[in-house]
Amino acid sequence: MVREILEYPDPRLREVAKPVDEVTDEIRVLAEDMAETMYDAPGCGLAAPQIGVGKRIFVIDTATDDEPSDLRVFINPELLELEGEQTWSEGCLSFPELSEDIDRAEKVKVRALGVDGKPFVLEADGLLAVAIQHENDHLEGVLMIDKVSVLKRKLMQRKMEKRARAGA
């Protein structure tokens, strides 16, 4: 089921998400809904707080249109290692139509649970590493607007307020 995506400045985007106690069928349905919502948007990542669910889950698919889908689900993720630097022009489904250059680590090592409830460790670089860091931030209530200069932040704020007023 496609869920509604919350947009900045919805206060629920600022809440720190809680760990998932157990990977149940309910959690698997949530992950499916999140994937469906992400593909529908379309986007390459979505965190549970973005659909108003305060749980530590995010989904990512960085495959391009001509590649087979590469859906990854991260439950209770932990970033174990960050290395290097890179800058990407990032977007976020909670900031529609906006993108900004954001500095991130070039490589990440992440541990999480999959939908089968089993832990896995993944080392990623490039866009996948960016997406993991971006989505993991959502679980802490941290948004891309926090990562840009004061001037850009004001500009983003103004654009999003205008959008909210227009009832978009």
Active-site positions? 135
Q: Name residue, tokens 């991260």.
A: 74
Between 92 and 145, name the residue whose CB sits nearer to Ni ion: 92
Helix (H) or strand (E) holding 111: strand 107-113
Q: How far is the CB of 19 from Ni ion (least distance, A)?
A: 20
Q: How far is the CB of 98 from Ni ion (least distance, A)?
A: 11
Which residues lie below 8 Å from residue 142, measured CB to CB, with a gap of 6+? none
Of 77, 61, 69, which is closest to residue 23 (Cα–Cα)? Answer: 77
Q: Cβ closer to Ni ion: 26 or 101?
A: 101
Q: What minimum distance in Å lies between the beta carbon of 68 and Ni ion? A: 24
- The closest alpha carbon to 23, from 33, 15, 31, belongs to 31
Residues near Ni ion (CB under 5 A) are 92
CA angle 129, 112, 52 (to 5 degrees): 85
